[in-house]
Chain A
Amino acid sequence: MDRNSLNTDKRNIVQGEDEAGFGVYVHWPFCLSKCPYCDFNSHVVANVDQRQWADALTRELEHMRGLTGPRELRSIFFGGGTPSLMEVPTVEAVLSAIDRLWGIHQGVEITLEANPTSVEAERFRGYRAAGVNRLSLGVQSLDDRELKFLGRLHSAEEALKAIGLAREIFPRLSFDLIYARPGQTAEAWARELRLALSHAADHLSLYQLTIEEGTAFARLYERGAFRLPEEEDAAELYRLTGEIAAEAGMSAYEVSNYARPGAEARHNLVYWRYGDYAGVGPGAHGRISGDGKKLATQTLKMPGEWLAAVNAEGHGIAALEDVSTAEQGDEMMLMGLRLEEGVSLSRHAHLTGHALDDARVDDLVQKGLLLREGDRIATTQRGRLVLDALLGRLLA
């Protein structure tokens, strides 16, 4: 199912890619329970003083505004953790701070990640009223037994209800599914995916289960408690996923993301197109350009430490790194080649000061892993599935 030519009309999904855009990321680090597969910065805490957190996030946003200067805002993303544990006034406070600092004009995408439990669903209308216009639901599976294995607190029925409700309330909706689970057959996955597609709006994130260091799954996996599909089978599942999603009119515009044309996640496109973003909250990352440099920011990961730092100094930034031009080139490539639209070679050359090795590019094109058209290169479907190794070949 490899494409034979570059899908050039995908190039300008939102705006010209030369301006990859600017977004704000807000990290809410709390969860009701820790999922066994998740290695994101999340913490189970009984009582969170939401007022205090709203104030701290606001202060850190103010600090970030000092670093970015005035920028045209394209998107806002509440991630976590579980942002749907934020009370509505907290979301309101954060959005009003962002509006004050950068301005939220019409058309800014505002996404919030939510879990589909009934308790959280009750807040949907409040979030919408606060300005959230896109919901990303952590459905993960539509099978109760699988949900249990994945450590999720909701049922398949609750998930479908939440999807229905969200579709009524929000103009845009996406949800996540995890596949290539232990023992999952191609038939079972195809059934589950078709069911999901029948409920989906216009965007889905479909991730293959991976074992991340330090998670409960990592310990179980090491002990041999379960096995993951073999490389060949996983590749086949991926191919099948693309095929079924395409039947429903959704194409893989990124390695694990599927959307109808125009429904792509603008915020994530900022990352993948190597744009700028300010990240606030514990363990958030940022990339901020200015004076010909690119700054990488990372905040303190532990919620208590972050909060104390913000209260004392106005921000929780733990690491502020100048990303070298060579590193910028690598980062741009490793993000951009995840996208179907690929990357611009001249932009890469402009960033790094030298052109990419032509012979290496040609070699990968010849192997059917890269497509090259004019100034752009992009991965084929086969190439995208071996992107990590491909990057090693291209850049190392």
Chain B
Amino acid sequence: MTDLAHIRNFSIIAHIDHGKSTLADRLIQLCGGLEAREMKEQVLDSMDIERERGITIKAQTVRLDYKAKNGEMYELNLIDTPGHVDFAYEVNRSLAACEGSLLVVDASQGVEAQTLANVYQALEVNHEVVPVLNKIDLPAADPEKTRQQIEDVIGLDASDAVEISAKSGIGIPDVLEAIVNRLPPPKGDIKAPLKAMLVDSWYDSYLGVVVLVRIIDGEMKKGQRVLMMGTGGVYTLEQVGIFRPKRENVASLTPGEIGFFTASIKEVADTRVGDTITEERRQCAAPLEGFKPAQPVVFCGLFPVDASEFEDLREAMGKLRLNDASFEFEMETSAALGFGFRCGFLGLLHLEIIRERIEREFNIDLITTAPSVIYHLHMTDGTVQEMHNPADMPDTMKIDHIEEPWIKATILVPDEYLGSVLKLCEDRRGHQVDLTYAGSRAMLVYRLPLNEVVLDFYDRLKSVSRGYASFDYHIEGYEEGDLVKMTILVNDELVDALSTIVHRSRAEQRGRAMCEKLKELIPKHLFKIPIQAAIGGRIVARETIAAMRKDVTAKCYGGDISRKRKLLDKQKEGKKKMRQFGRVDIPQDAFIAALKMDEN
């Protein structure tokens, strides 16, 4: 065990691409956590998707042994945190497990909205925050301006910010010294009954569920019988250990330390993040405050392109859910798409990641239907129904009014793009709450209906600001809205998977845009195809896909029929990637693509 004075627990707060993972790599390297040959980029991002997208999804932890300049050995525990708004709840719990944070800001880019939100979260849990200016060796780096920005925008003293380049390895020892000298050690009492916080858990195919814990008081040992105070579950600890980042068993975990245990827990759903773990026979007086469980806010349908893969899809979802309790699913039947699942996600990125993992890891081609938020339907009989699938919308005569969720969004943007961002927010029914400047950057606070944001707001924001705007949001509450269900008819047949809920004031514009998009997305057929958008019985937009006029191999002799036949076989194969609606083949990616607005 290490005495409390020689432990430092910290996390790193940074915007995507500002160098968090690279800094983590460097810290691990300098403290000898991995041999040079074992180092690969972004050591802590273990999923392929995390590495490819340069994001962290699951919290990861690593213990570093550091010999400080004062000659003493320190145990540094780093909890890596996700950087995307969809996973804000994960940030929360990671922050709660430590006493300090490094705020990493790219000195060539400046502070971003996501960083801001996370720093405020850190300050809320009383973290000591050490600002770190990264990428100072880039020609575009402006440490002075960035320092000023940190003070102006965040209100944090940045005069003694550590200047580094994680990529070139400049200033890394200074970071380690700052952790030791400027972050506070944890508190705790080893003699008190065991009290530990459940930080995270995940499924490992060899070990079962692995639980990440922060010890507050007492001691955690192999063989111990523990009680999870929230769920009431009682388990016998099988392995107790730490990550360096390789897994290593230890005799015990003591106050201030971060480590893991396994205890033959079958599903991640059996554990609750933020729960308090204590000893069954000698319980602590009161549990920790805990966290609110993350609630899905975005819903959509996932259907197998090949209907015969429905059972495979069910199995894939079950497996993913083992590791991600925030992802929900239940069976859904669509007249157009057959059997599939209605799924709930924390946000669009979360949706995309799950979808990509199903397609990649389980090899199932998917059709994704229009994402929806949860609407509250206040019925004329006084009851309130939740609706997260436009296809489930009851008879409008029975609905008194509909409420939709609103968010408060914070957007940071260089002022040359402010105009386009304001327009985007206005187009999405936004209400401006605040507009302030920090140097040449504007900080915008907007209230927006979530249903205008879920699909492509972030993409559009990036696009209109050439990638410079950053965005963060939280849900504020429900408000009444004049909402209607828009349906799409392709070749005079209703395609339920394309139904959406829209604000009446936007309905015609959205209808036109969707019809135009579908006209591009659906290939020409042998006959002309009308595409219509309707609200109730009223057609609000219409496009027609002209019939195909020419598609024939000009030259066909020399007797090479096999080649022609192979083309036909390919055509048959291609048809499997389409879904048939009546007599129209709709490509699988059209369902989402049809909803994305170009707004140009």
Given contacts A385-B549, A386-B549, contact A334 B564 (CB under 8 A): yes
Is B526 part of the contact surface with A, judged by Cβ < 8 Å?
A: yes
Q: How far is the CA of A45 from the CA of B559 in the complex (A)?
A: 24
Mark the stretch among B229-237, B309-317, B366-374, B550-558 that contacts chain A.
B550-558
Flag if B526 contacts A386 (CB, 8 Å).
yes
Given contacts A208-B554, A388-B551, A393-B526, contact A287 B564 (CB under 8 A): no
Is A389 part of the contact surface with B, judged by Cβ < 8 Å?
A: yes
Flag if B555 contacts A386 (CB, 8 Å).
no
Given contacts A334-B565, A388-B553, contact A369 B559 (CB under 8 A): no
- Name which of A231, A384, A392 has the most chain B CB atoms within 10 A of its CB: A392
Flag if B568 contacts A235 (CB, 8 Å).
no
Q: Which residues of B contact A73 (CB under 8 A)?
A: none
Q: Which residues of A contact B555 (CB under 8 A)?
A: 207, 210, 256
Bits for A270-293, please: 1 = Cβ < 8 Å to B, else 0.
Answer: 011000010100001111000000
Is B331 part of the contact surface with A, judged by Cβ < 8 Å?
A: no
Q: Which residues of A contact B527 (CB under 8 A)?
A: 367
Flag if B554 contacts A338 (CB, 8 Å).
no
Cβ < 8 Å to B, chain A residues 285-313: 285-287, 296, 298
Is A35 part of the contact surface with B, judged by Cβ < 8 Å?
A: no
Given contacts A285-B558, A369-B526, A393-B526, contact A363 B583 (CB under 8 A): yes
Is B572 part of the contact surface with A, judged by Cβ < 8 Å?
A: yes
Flag if A327 contacts B565 (CB, 8 Å).
yes
Flag if B550 contacts A234 (CB, 8 Å).
yes
CB distance from B287 to the nearest CB of A (A): 62
Is B48 part of the contact surface with A, judged by Cβ < 8 Å?
A: no
Q: Which residues of A contact B560 (CB under 8 A)?
A: 285
Q: How far is the CA of A284 from the CA of B558 in the complex (A)?
A: 8
CB distance from B482 to the nearest CB of A (A): 42
Flag if A255 contacts B568 (CB, 8 Å).
no
Flag if A285 contacts B552 (CB, 8 Å).
no
Cβ < 8 Å to A, chain B residues 543-600: 548-562, 564-565, 567-568, 571-572, 575, 583
Which of A234, A271, A396 contacts B561 (CB under 8 A)? A271
Given contacts A298-B562, A363-B583, A367-B526, contact A255 B571 (CB under 8 A): no
Which of B552, B568, B571 contacts A386 (CB under 8 A)? B552
Q: With CB as the reference atom, state the residue of chain B lying closest to A205.
A: B555
Q: How far is the CA of A82 from the CA of B292 in the complex (A)?
A: 80
Flag if A330 contacts B526 (CB, 8 Å).
no
Q: How far is the CA of A389 from the CA of B559 in the complex (A)?
A: 21
Q: Which residues of B contact A330 (CB under 8 A)?
A: 565, 568
CB distance from A368 to the nearest CB of B (A): 9
Main secondary structure of the interface of B (DSSP, over half): loop
Flag if B548 contacts A389 (CB, 8 Å).
yes
Q: How far is the CA of A66 from the CA of B557 in the complex (A)?
A: 24
Flag if B550 contacts A40 (CB, 8 Å).
no
Q: Which residues of B contact A321 (CB under 8 A)?
A: 562
Q: Which residues of B contact A79 (CB under 8 A)?
A: 558
Q: With CB as the reference atom, state the residue of chain A lying closest to B523.
A: A389
CB distance from A233 to the nearest CB of B (A): 9
Given contacts A334-B565, A396-B572, contact A232 B559 (CB under 8 A): no
Q: Which residues of A contact B562 (CB under 8 A)?
A: 285, 296, 298, 321
CB distance from A266 to the nearest CB of B (A): 12
Q: How far is the CA of A388 from the CA of B552 in the complex (A)?
A: 5
- Name which of A209, A271, A389 has the most chain B CB atoms within 10 A of its CB: A389
Q: With CB as the reference atom, state the residue of chain B lying closest to A235.
A: B549
Q: Which residues of B contact A40 (CB under 8 A)?
A: 558
Is A387 part of the contact surface with B, judged by Cβ < 8 Å?
A: yes
Cβ < 8 Å to B, chain A residues 358-394: 363-364, 367, 369, 384-393
Which of A238, A286, A363 contacts B559 (CB under 8 A)? A286
Q: Which residues of B contact A25 (CB under 8 A)?
A: 558-559
CB distance from A165 to the nearest CB of B (A): 25
Q: How far is the CA of A330 from the CA of B568 in the complex (A)?
A: 8
- Name which of B548, B551, B555 has the most chain A CB atoms within 10 A of its CB: B555
Given contacts A207-B554, A256-B554, A389-B526, contact A279 B559 (CB under 8 A): yes
Flag if B556 contacts A277 (CB, 8 Å).
no
Flag if A396 contacts B559 (CB, 8 Å).
no
List of 9 A-B pairs having minimum Cβ-Cβ separation, nearest first: A235-B549, A396-B572, A285-B559, A387-B552, A392-B571, A235-B550, A389-B551, A207-B554, A388-B551
**Could you pull out 16 A-B pairs where Cβ atoms are within 8 angstroms?**
A79-B558, A208-B554, A209-B554, A255-B556, A256-B554, A271-B556, A286-B559, A298-B562, A334-B565, A363-B583, A386-B550, A388-B552, A388-B571, A390-B526, A391-B571, A392-B568
Residues of chain B at the chain A interface (Cβ within 8 Å): 525-527, 548-562, 564-565, 567-568, 571-572, 575, 583
Residues of chain A at the chain B interface (Cβ within 8 Å): 25, 27, 40, 79, 207-210, 231-232, 234-235, 238, 255-256, 268, 271-272, 277, 279, 284-287, 296, 298, 321, 327, 330-331, 334-335, 338, 363-364, 367, 369, 384-393, 395-396
**Given contact pairs A331-B561, A331-B564, A386-B549, a sample of 13 additional A-B residue pairs in the complex whose CB atoms are under 8 Å apart:** A25-B558, A207-B555, A210-B555, A238-B550, A255-B553, A255-B556, A271-B557, A334-B561, A385-B549, A386-B526, A386-B550, A387-B551, A387-B552
